[in-house]
Amino acid sequence: MGPTASGKTRLAFELCDHLNAEIISVDSALVYRGLNIGSAKPTAQELQRYPHRLVDIRDPANPYTAADFRRDALAAMADITAQGKVPLLVGGTMLYFKALLDGLVELPPIEPTIRASIERQAKTSGWPALHAELTQCDPETAANLHPNHSQRICRALEVYRGTGRPLSHWRRQQAEQAPPYRLLQIAVAPAERTLLHQRIEQRLTTMFASGFVDEVRQLYQRGDLDRNLPAIRAVGYRQVWEYLNGEISESDMQAKALAATRQLAKRQFTWLRKWPSLHWLLWKDAEESLLPALFEKLSDVDFPVDGLY
């Protein structure tokens, strides 16, 4: 895993040359057909040499969710493992990784009036009083919350009053969904943030020169897509869509796409800094192979991978 333009795909290809593995894409844009240039999707030749699961599996008009990813990824992992191969999950959609590792539990619908009632009660009694109430019905959750953490106290009480079960119950159900695999988690990133910014700018320049606007124009002209769909909200696609809609100039489009991509990378770094059990591979030269550093990392952890070397 890693931020956009950090070299994840290149490392995955190199690793597949040394490991009996098959790649599973963990990218919320690569799932959509027709999103090729702007998503930095591997070329047809690359996909033939290094087959990817969960690429080009949805039409942009049909949204793909984290729950969809978890279901499909687990099925792909089981199939790859049954063939005696190692599932190699590669991408930067951290929500997908989290859904896969931590599970997803869908709560029953909760009436909005319950939240409104809690908020009225808080205005009268204060959040510490509601925290005390939460201690009675869900002591496990309350023990991890500050008495004035209004949002989380409200959510926990909302769940209890709306479902009859404490939030801790639902979280335990979620924890039981952990996938039955031994995991090695690697983060790929530049040693300095400026190096990543340079890579992002170079990639965007190449994308626009390769026909990115024409790619989005084909989607725009279909007539059945709109900016509220997850595929069109993807970084880069959203900005080109605004340009084609006459809302911004070409120069503004490119500037906004660059800013949005940098913001995406920043959000991805925020996820990764808090990620547990993560082994970092930092590079200073984008053209230098990370395999030696990865092999050294593997030698330091108890993670058997047959036939790697």
pLDDT tens per residue across span 204-227: 999 999 999 999 999 999 999 999
Question: pTM for the whole thing?
Answer: 0.81
Least confident of 41-50, 95-104, 180-189, 295-304: 295-304
Our CA angle for 143, 144, 150, nearest 5°, is 100
DSSP-based three-state secondary structure for 160: helix
Which band of pLDDT confidence, cut at 50, 70 and 90, is reported for residue 309?
very low
What is the residue-wise DSSP string for 207-253? HHHTTHHHHHHHHHTTSS--TTSHHHHSTTHHHHHHHHTTSS-HHHH
The per-residue pLDDT for range 249-275, each reduced to its tens digit, is 999 999 999 999 999 999 999 999 999
Amino acid at 81: T
For residues 35 and 234, is the Cβ–Cβ distance under 8 A?
yes
Per-residue confidence (pLDDT) for residue 302, from 0 to 100: 66
**Nearest-angstrom CA–CA distance, 228 and 252:** 21
> What share of the chain in percent tops pLDDT 70?
97
Q: Token pair for residue 19? A: 């490991």
Which CATH entry fits the domain spanning 112-175: 1.10.20.140, 3.40.50.10320, 3.40.50.10420, 3.30.70.2190? 1.10.20.140
Residue 68 clears pLDDT 70, i.e. is over it: yes
- Give the whole-angstrom CA distance, residue 65 versus residue 62: 10
209 burial class (0-12, 13-18, 19+ CB within 10 angstroms)? exposed
CB atoms closer than 10 angstroms to residue 202: 12
CATH number of 8-104+182-299: 3.40.50.300
Alpha carbon separation from 20 to 16, 91, 253 (Å, rounded): 7, 19, 42
Who wins on pLDDT, 38 or 103?
38
Given the structure tokens 């509601």, which residue do they identify? Answer: 130
For the cut 70, the answer to whether the pLDDT of residue 142 exceeds it is yes
CA dist 147 and 129 (Å) reads 8
- Asked if 85 and 306 count as a contact pair (C-beta separation under 8 A), the reply is no
Contact 85, 79 (CB under 8 A): no
What pLDDT shows up at residue 308?
A: 46
Domain ranges for the chain = 8-104+182-299, 112-175
Q: Are 110 and 29 in contact (CB under 8 A)?
A: no
